[in-house]
A and B are shown apart, each in its own frame.
Chain A
Amino acid sequence: DAKTTQPNSMESNEEEPVHLPCNHSTISGTDYIHWYRQLPSQGPEYVIHGLTSNVNNRMASLAIAEDRKSSTLILHRATLRDAAVYYCMANSNSGYALNFGKGTSLLVTP
């Protein structure tokens, strides 16, 4: 699994876009980049994943650098409900342990 580095915390205003960065410089060619988030008092939930191309889904967008050494999770319009810890991971899709690390705690203010 590639080591990932994320800021400890970020803050955003409600209805503003949020860009959550992640560095994964040791990523290998077959490693997926994936993001989960954990809302307060809940289990983690899947947000998005990608391999090489940028990805969009109903929750977020994932922008992957051309060299794949970094990526950015984009929440297009943050809501109060998006306040959570966001975990970036880069590892093969083996279904084995997800290495959550410390993640980025996102605070959304009205």
Chain B
Amino acid sequence: EDQVTQSPEALRLQEGESSSLNCSYTVSGLRGLFWYRQDPGKGPEFLFTLYSAGEEKEKERLKATLTKKESFLHITAPKPEDSATYLCAVPGLPPSGGSYIPTFGRGTSLIVHP
């Protein structure tokens, strides 16, 4: 069974204080790992897709990396507007076959204080 575990559940940072969010996964045959940002009362916003170990992607203050067992979302010099819940997900095939279904982690709630 595919599993995705995110840590920490919550993270409070001061503005400018860099840190990393973790996403550990267990999946039979990785077909991508996805990072999303979700603001309260809104749908998740796509950030990155990573497909193979060693791959890295960047967007502004965010950088996502991938190994064979986990992914990190590094936040460099965060600003208050980076406050959000960050979700990671991996697509997996259900036992009965059919469409790939995403398995989501529970998310990391990030608060950046000014």
- Do these two chains really belong together in a complex? no
Binding site for B on A (CB under 8 A): none
